[in-house]
Amino acid sequence: MSSETLTIEKLGLSGDGIARGPFGPVYVPFTLPGETAALAVNKNNGTVMSMSEISPERVEPKCRHFGPEGENGTCGGCSLQHASDTLYHDFKRQIVIDALKSKALSVEVAPLVIARPGERRRVVFTARRTEKELLLGFNTPESHHIVSISECPIASPGIVSQLATIRTVAEALAANAEPFRLTVLETLTGLDLAADGIKKLDDKQRRKTVETVLSVRGVARVSVNGEILVEPIKPLIDFGGVQVSPPPGGFTQATKTAEDVMADLVVRHVGKAKRIVDLFSGSGTFSMRLARIGRVHAVEGDDKALKALDNAARNTQGLKPVTIEKRDLFRRPLMTSELKVYDAIVFDPPRAGAEVQVKEIARSGVKKIVAVSCNPQTLVRDLRILVDAGYRLTSVTPIDQFLWSSHVEVVATLEK
């Protein structure tokens, strides 16, 4: 441990300020470029002790729980509330620009589609019972300490207004002091609460949780480790006019605003394609909308997500035929010969990207491709494969749906 006075030169990929220390880069949370601070330095991590130069781009945080001075500790839900909108938006767009440059990909990056407070319909809390209370909130970065929250400017009003109810349900689930994750999804019919990391509930706990849920308002479903415990009303989300009931804890886009923008970009690029394959389809975020254009084949490794998609498609009028296939696309990608029959391919993989699948896509010659990603680094690796195979990158759009974090979504379109 040493004391150093250093100037922040830039923001890193995680949103930390980066200064040049005597032995290499020093990463300093909650700082901005141009700021000079006295730091306690441990290896390559710095903690601010005092500031002598403050950036004009520094603003007052929107939440009482943010940063080192936060109430109940440093909440790990946000990392960039102290940055002005201009600096923050430029930072996110630059992440995508730099990623493309790293693979020598040349295309104009569209302006960032911005996120606004109160848009998050899906939030993942940590919960833990203590002798005094039930803690519900977010972990301090790189710590097991839970910052119990009383407000959350990123979350939708429908979630924030129900924090007391969410705590009551979490308390019924918490048999001991072990922490667990609680994913809260605001749906059209109420909150969908999915707990993970809880050891097996006994009969008494099950009864208590069911009674608790039935005694409160606004909760559509509660599940534990993927098992539905109680479902007063089926939770429903809207995918472009098609109502889908997602599986417990299933993946959905974090904000409807971002989802709608992504879907619009996908649909517009696909155009009038008659046969479309949607890879890593989930519960049908894009498939349901694409089925208004042409025949859709949805491929997904999660059986429950596929069943939700299939059920929605079967019970919605006005859609073109939708077929489904359960398949692990990492281990068994659709082969070039299987892909050739389609006019357009859409793929939206997890953070690891879709390298093995993309190599098959690259050889397929399918005219139109849309790549959707939550990880610009793996996306550009996959795009490079397609460009090297003769595809032209026609647009790249960065989309913010994780407000005041360093995460950015991207939609890229390609043509043969």
Angle at 188 between CA 184 and CA 189, to 5 degrees: 80
Q: Would the annotation count 30 as a binding residue?
A: no
| Per-residue pLDDT tens over the stretch 227-244 | 999 999 999 999 999 999
Q: Would the annotation count 348 as a binding residue?
A: yes
Chain centroid to Cα 243, Å, comes to 21
Per-residue pLDDT at 95: 98
Residue 295 has pLDDT above 90, yes or no: yes
Amino acid sitting at position 378: T
352 plus 371 within the same structural domain? yes
Residue 189 has pLDDT above 90, yes or no: yes
214 plus 358 within the same structural domain? no
Residue 237 CB partners (closer than 8 Å, separation 6+): 185, 187, 188, 243, 244, 245, 246, 252
pLDDT confidence of 284, banded at 50, 70, 90? very high
Residue 97 has pLDDT above 90, yes or no: yes
What is the DSSP pairing of strand 36-42 with strand 134-139? unpaired
| Per-residue pLDDT tens over the stretch 204-224 | 999 999 999 999 999 999 999
Q: Would the annotation count 131 as a binding residue?
A: no
CATH of the domain at 20: 2.40.50.140
Query: Looking at the 3D structure of the chain, how many domains does it have?
Result: 3
190 plus 212 within the same structural domain? yes
Residue 102 has pLDDT above 90, yes or no: yes
Radius of gyration of the chain (CA): 23
Residue 101 has pLDDT above 90, yes or no: yes
Q: Is residue 83 part of a domain?
A: no
Mean pLDDT (whole number) for 287-312: 98
**Do 286 and 312 touch, CB atoms closer than 8 A?**
no
Q: Would the annotation count 377 as a binding residue?
A: no
Chain centroid to Cα 257, Å, comes to 13
44 plus 126 within the same structural domain? no
Domain of 43, in residue numbers: 1-58
23 plus 152 within the same structural domain? no
Q: What's the mean per-residue pLDDT of the chain?
A: 96
**Do 296 and 323 touch, CB atoms closer than 8 A?**
yes
192 plus 268 within the same structural domain? no
4 plus 43 within the same structural domain? yes
| Per-residue pLDDT tens over the stretch 165-184 | 999 999 999 988 999 999 99
Q: Is residue 351 part of a domain?
A: yes
187 plus 302 within the same structural domain? no
Please tell me the distance from the alpha carbon of residue 296 to that of residue 291, in angstroms, as a whole number.
6
95 plus 131 within the same structural domain? no
Mean pLDDT (whole number) for 265-273: 97
pLDDT confidence of 279, banded at 50, 70, 90? very high
Provide the 10 A C-beta neighbour count for residue 258. 20
3, exposed or middle or buried, with CB in 10 Å at 0-12, 13-18, 19+? exposed
What is the DSSP pairing of strand 275-279 with strand 295-300? parallel
pLDDT confidence of 1, banded at 50, 70, 90? confident
What positions carry a catalytic annotation?
374
